[in-house]
A and B are shown apart, each in its own frame.
Chain A
Amino acid sequence: MASIYFQLSADPIRPSLLAEALRSPACGAYVAFEGWIRDTNQQRPVSAITYEAYHDLAMSEGERLLREIVEAHHCHAAHCVHRTGTVALGEPAVWVGVVAPHRKEAFAACIAIMDALKERVPIWKHEHYADGSSSWLE
């Protein structure tokens, strides 16, 4: 059975600890992605982002997509943590880690997870701008 772990976290993400949990002698490839808060969006200076999640549906949809992608790409494990609440510039908002016997499957699964996450999981960004204004991204 592949290992699946999806979590919404109000606390800072600690990628090194999360990576340790994926270590497996059967896997020669570990691919991870971290999404960080960037200081601009469409030329507007950004000061922070607040994430809001529809918790119950985000959890079930997050777990569903990890399971689908792990199976499709024959990986051994896929874990994902997404932040809620306010995340400062440069801090990770999302972390994905995948392990597989070989690198191609792990790379492909990691990309597929991020694409599906941004498409399907009910999480929203509220961007705060340097000028003090803010908006929900539509």
Chain B
Amino acid sequence: MNAMPPPLNALILMGGKSTRMGMDKAFMDFHGMPQWQYLHFLLKPRCAEVWLSVSPSADHSPFTGFNCLPDAVAEAGPLNGIITALRLAPKMAWLVVACDLPNIGADELNHLITNRNPQSLATAYFHPESDYPEPLIAIWEPSAQLLLETLLTEKPVPGPISILKRNECHRVYPQTSRALLNVNSPADWERWQKEAPPLITVAVTYFALMRAQTGKGSEQITTRAETALQLYHELQVRYPLSLKPASLKVAINDVFCPWDTPLHAHDKVVFIPPVSGG
């Protein structure tokens, strides 16, 4: 008998003001918006509910309208949020994602979710070289709660890496070497920015079905997308778009263009749904 696996909730680990980073990691801007917001866009269509794991003392006003979950325990570092989430909804599995993994996108989340093993304590990404787990992009199953609550009574409470290494955890390896890159210091951040395409702002106008599905006539979008196709993939993260690129055409500055056309700052971009004049 195969019971349905527990459904997924998402938990975005906001962290606090990082001493090494000198700023709040949740607000680092890798993709044209604060990273917590980018993750929220990515996780919303993939999970039943998305929660922000926040420190009880933090200012919650930037998150008005979002589900905030202040830590109910204080002893377990990054596990505080995970334990709090498992207490909130003990029958749900929790897909936990930290804000300092800038290369996590739709593909990386899909890969983890597809390869999930609900029978294990957790499904986690492992670094292929060191074979160390990355506990802060992982799916924690309801069965993990009992163990974590027990470990909470130990002094000191073991860290999430050693918990995953010591216990039955399902390993998933990333599809690209850059997927698990971690930005932990101003030097990491500088290096990441140097390697990433520059942020540009483009004007996107929507017509017909695109306008109906975005709820907007036009908007300015700040992005690291280098081509029209990459920009469309970003829009698919932000909005529930039913049209696939194959059925759309692209116009840049009022001229039809191929999907791989490079984008420049201030370009006017339109994704053209199948036309139906006459």
Contact = CB atoms under 8 A, between A and B. Distances in A.
Contacts of A125: 276-277
Contacts of A137: 274, 276
Contacts of B256: 57, 61
Nearest to B254: A56
Nearest to A56: B254
Contacts of A61: 256
Interface in A103-138: 114, 117-126, 136-138
B267 to A, nearest CB: 14
Nearest to A119: B275
A114 B112 CA distance: 50
Interface string B5-42: 00000000000000000000000000000000000000
Contacts of A123: 275-278
Interface string B262-278: 00000000101111111
Given A126-B208, A138-B209, A54 B277 contact: no
A75 interface: no
B273 A82 contact: no
Nearest to A55: B254
Contacts of A136: 208-209, 212, 273, 276
Given A52-B207, A52-B208, A122-B272, A57 B278 contact: no
A138 B270 contact: no
Contacts of B152: none
Contacts of B205: 54
Given A57-B254, A57-B270, A60-B254, A124 B278 contact: no
B251 interface: yes
B243 to A, nearest CB: 8
A15 to B, nearest CB: 15
Contacts of A121: 275, 277
Contacts of A119: 275
Interface in A48-89: 51-54, 56-57, 60-61, 82
A93 interface: yes
A122 B207 contact: yes
B278 A54 contact: no
A94 B242 CA distance: 29
B270 A124 contact: no
Given A54-B207, A136-B212, A118 B277 contact: yes
A33 to B, nearest CB: 9
A45 interface: no
19 contacts: A51-B277, A52-B207, A57-B251, A57-B256, A60-B255, A61-B256, A82-B278, A117-B278, A118-B275, A118-B276, A118-B277, A119-B275, A122-B207, A122-B270, A122-B277, A124-B273, A124-B275, A124-B276, A124-B277
Given A82-B278, A93-B278, A123-B275, 12 more contacts: A51-B277, A57-B254, A60-B254, A61-B256, A82-B277, A94-B278, A118-B278, A120-B275, A122-B270, A123-B277, A124-B277, A137-B274
Q: For the complex of A and B, list the 4 residue pairs with the smallest distance between their C-beta atoms, beginning with the closest.
A: A123-B277, A124-B208, A118-B278, A136-B209
